[in-house]
Amino acid sequence: MQELMQKLIINYPYLIAVILFFIGIMTVLTRSNLFKKLIGINIMESAVFMFFVAAGNIRAAAVPILDEADPQPVYINPLPSALMLTGIVVSVSVTAFALALIVRLYKAYGTTDSRKIAQLSREGKKG
Amino acid sequence: MIAAVTEHLPALVVITPLTFSFILPPLGRRLGLARGLVIFSAILSLLGAAGLAFLVFTNPGASISYQMGGWAPPWGIELEVDSLAAFFLLLVALVNLPVVLAGRKNLTAEIGSEGRVIRFYALYLLLIGALSGMALTKDLFNVFVLVEVATISCCALVSAREHPQAARASFSYLILATLGSSFVLAGIGFIYISTGHLNMAFAGDALVLAGQSSPRVLWLAFSFMLVGFGVKAALFPLHIWLPDAHSTAPAPASAVLSGLAVKGYIICLMKILFTVFGPALMARFTVPRILLAAGVVAILAGSVSALLQDELKRRLAYSTVAQIGYIFLGLGLMNEQGLAGGIFYLAGHALSKALLFLAAGAMLAATGKQKISDLAGLGKKMPVTMAAFTIGSLSLIGIPLFAGFVGKWQLLLGSLESGSILASAGIILGSVLCAAYLLPVVRIAYFENAGPAQVQNPGLAEKLSLVLLAVSTLVLGIFPGPFLELALRAARDLLGCC
């Protein structure tokens, strides 16, 4: 048990990433407000980004800039951070598109609550 | 010149639709020119895909590898044209051309202004480019990027209509699909931290070692991948976004979303499952059984839900959920016949479902009504459209001479070989249910008397696209030879790589 705790404390970025991931999922699935759903998605994605960046980090390793005069024994892995730049760009575009959709939904239904929107659109179909 | 084109063909197939998609928006309102360019790009894609498929088909055992930017595989992004990639590329191009031809009059009526139609086509080409890339790429992170490009363009296509319902369907699709991509990305992360590679072949080799030292991480990677791609490919309990999205999209978009977009994710899942994890690891984590069970449940649940719908496009959308089950069932059988059947059925379903959605779109545009009961008498008024719809239905049910039959037959052979009674029963019951929900549409259209209402017949371009798709469904059903051979080779490659 103590060993497990110690491992968790040493690898705290992963632990935080997992917690954030679940907070994100819960927010997406349980909240009916469209903005909160979107925020949940963003939290989830940040958790995954954090997971990647943590995976690239090596404690006490050098910044990955190769200096021929002063070579270091261990460098941080820069690849995951570079990948996550792309991931962040994707996440921003998803957020922008979702916000545009929320604006359209608000104009059409006058609310940002997904339950009310579902109710209104059912009534609209009957009428 | 020709040598340079051939050498860079794998990259060009992906880049061509993307380039055209960026040319389109500045054209403003010149719809005629834009449509010309889109059709031109579709023809170019078809030529490129046919060329690659020919090269792969005539050199058995060899695959064309292309290094993006000249960086060698473990570091650079590798595009590989193997049998599976060639098969899917050709399929994308085959569905792409008729769909592009289809939406002349109807699309403008459905979406609104000409500027919007041009933007629709820009997004559409983006989707086609992403799908072609998904067929070719061998790089895990590249898979994620292409999946996201496809997802965003799919969502935008769903929201193309002004109707508030479209925005609603698109939003729930976007949220769930992004949820799925987060899972996929996390799964890629697990593979990367346990192997140190992003190239599928290298990761696959390293995973054999990682499978012994840290099986729990791989178990996580498996489940994240299955859930992530399951949401995106609408595997049964994760399908909830699909009926709304596919039924509210404009007809050409529904045809591509149901026919191709969903399949692109399955192709990626197939590559990750078989080349990265490999059949041995899959068997260890009982993944084949999960896929098999999920497939059978999807077939039955999707078919029953389709039976309960009285709107034509919603019924077709639920039918997609059921047919996706067949493909997953093929993945779960883990033998050559079954997997080849799944891959071939992917093509059969793509062509038939695109045909059905385009025909349904033409019928809805003609009558202005959505209910199946409103289609009475259309068989006489719209002979070409209804004939096309009938061919699509028969193919999906699995009547011999049509493309769907060959796939289902292969699946049945595979399920008999693996001795799984559940799978065989699911395949046959699914066919019966499919007949139960599609044939009434045909019956109402041909054998019920209609009111005197006039209908607007589709234009020449629409008819041509329906005929093209119907002919390819028939050709694939009567002469499946080369296509089936490609599917069998793809299955052998996937199963035998580890």
User: Which of A52, A86, A105 is the closest to B171 by Cβ?
Assistant: A105
Percent of chain B with pLDDT over 70: 97
**Look-up of token digits 């049945």:** B412
| Cα distance between residue B281 and residue B273, in whole Å | 9
Nearest to A108 among B148, B152, B164 (CB): B164
Q: Strand, coil or helix: what is B311?
A: strand
Q: Determine the Cα–Cα distance for residues B334 and B414; give it in Å rounded to an integer.
A: 9
Please give the structure tokens belonging to residue A120: 């209104």
Yes or no, beta carbons of A94 and B168 under 8 Å apart? no
Q: What is the pLDDT of residue B188?
A: 92
Min Cα distance B195 → chain A (Å) is 12
**DSSP 8-state secondary structure symbol assigned to residue B59:** S
Q: Please return the burial class of A101, using the count of CB atoms within 10 Å of its CB with bins 0-12, 13-18 and 19+.
A: buried
Alpha-carbon gap, residue B62 to B492, rounded angstroms: 13
Q: Is the pLDDT at B298 greater than 90, yes or no?
A: yes
Contact A55 B192 (CB under 8 A): yes
**What tokens appear for B307 in the block?**
């039976």
Query: Residue B318 is which amino acid?
Result: Y
Q: Chain B: nearest CA to A64, how far in angstroms?
A: 16
Q: What is the pLDDT of residues B2-44, one digit of tens each?
A: 777 778 888 888 889 999 999 888 876 777 888 888 888 899 9
- State the greatest distance between any 2 C-alpha atoms of chain B, in Å, as a whole number: 73
pLDDT above 70: residue B497: no
The tens digit of pLDDT for each residue in B145-198 reads 999 999 999 999 998 888 888 888 999 999 999 999 999 999 999 999 888 888
Q: Inform me whether the C-beta atom of residue B26 falls under 8 Å from chain A C-beta atoms.
A: no
Q: What is the pLDDT of residue B441?
A: 86
Q: What proportion of chain B, given as a percentage, has pLDDT over 90?
A: 26
Q: What is residue B286's predicted lDDT score, i.e. its pLDDT?
A: 86
The structure tokens 């929320």 sit at A102
B129/B126 Cα distance (integer angstroms): 5
The whole-chain average pLDDT of chain A stands at: 88
Q: Tell me: the pLDDT tens digits for B406-440? A: 889 989 899 988 888 888 888 999 999 999 988 88
pLDDT at B66 over 70: yes
| Nearest in space to B344 (alpha carbons), one of B411, B392, B295, B395 | B411
pTM: 0.91
Check CB contact of B205 with chain A, cutoff 8 Å. Answer: no
Q: Give the residue-averaged pLDDT of B376-392.
A: 84
Q: Which of A42, A50, A104 to mutate to probe the B interface, most B CBs <10 Å?
A: A104
Name residues whose C-beta falls within 8 Å of residue A61's C-beta, 6 or more positions apart in sequence: A72, A74, A75, A76
Contact criterion met (CB < 8 Å) for A94 and B159: no
Tokens 């063909």 sit at which residue?
Answer: B9
The pLDDT value given to residue B453: 65
pLDDT exceeds cutoff 50 at B105: yes
Chain B interface disruption, residue of A7, A97, A102, most B CBs within 10 A: A97
* CB burial string B434-466: b at 16+ within 10 A, e below: bbebbeebbebbbeeebeeeebeebeebbbebb
Give the residue with greater pLDDT, B459 vs B397: B397
pLDDT of residue A127 exceeding 60, the answer is no
Task: Examine the pLDDT at A46 and tell me if it is beyond 70.
Answer: yes
Contact between B178 and A41 using a beta-carbon 8 Å cutoff: yes
What is the H or E stretch that residue B441 is in? helix B421-447
Please report, for residues A37, B355, B398, the alpha-carbon distance to residue B471 in angstroms, rounded to integers and kept in the order given: 45, 10, 16
Which chain B residues are closer than 8 Å to A21 by Cβ? 182, 186
Angle between helices B287-308 and B215-232 (to 10 degrees): 20
Tell me which residue in B148, B155, B186 faces A48 most closely, judged by beta carbons: B186
SS3 state at B37: helix
Residue type, B200: M
Residue A62 distance to chain B (closest CA, Å): 19
The residue assigned the tokens 């044209």 is B81
What pLDDT score was predicted for residue B498?
40
Residue B188, classified by CB atoms within 10 Å of its CB into exposed (0-12), middle (13-18) or buried (19+), is: buried
B449-477: per-residue pLDDT in tens?
766 566 677 778 888 888 888 999 998 88
Structure tokens at A119: 């109710």
Does B49 reach chain A within 8 Å, measured CB to CB? no
Residue B458 amino acid letter: P
Q: In degrees, to the nearest 5, what angle opens at C-alpha A23 toward C-alphas A17 and A24?
A: 85
Instruction: Return the pLDDT at B74.
Output: 78
Biggest alpha carbon distance in chain A? 78
Between vectors from CA B115 to CA B113 and to CA B119, what angle results, nearest 5°?
120
Nearest-Cα residue of chain B relative to residue A53: B189
| pLDDT single digits (tens) A98-124 | 999 999 999 888 888 888 888 888 887
Q: How confident is the model at residue B268 (pLDDT cuts 50, 70, 90)?
A: very high
Q: Say yes or no for a CB contact (<8 Å) between B182 and A101.
A: no
Q: Identify the band that residue A35 occupies on the pLDDT scale cut at 50, 70 and 90.
A: very high
pLDDT tens for each residue of B210-245: 777 778 888 888 899 999 999 999 888 888 888 888
H-state helical runs in chain A: 2-10, 12-30, 34-56, 79-109, 114-126
Q: Calculate the average pLDDT of chain B.
A: 86
| Residues B370/B312, Cβ–Cβ less than 8 Å | yes
Please report residues of A whose CB lies closer than 8 A to that of B164. 104-105, 108-109, 121
Cβ pair B171:A101 closer than 8 A? yes
Q: Which is nearest to B375 in space by CA: B461, B309, B458, B447? A: B447
Q: How far is A104 from chain B (nearest CA, A)?
A: 7
Asked whether B460 and B360 are in contact (CB, 8 A), the reply is no
* pLDDT confidence band for B75 (50 / 70 / 90): confident
Which has more pLDDT, B157 or B110?
A: B157
Q: What is the pLDDT of residue B230?
A: 92
Residue given tokens 């078919």 in the structure block: B303
The yes-or-no verdict on residue A39 having pLDDT over 80 is: yes
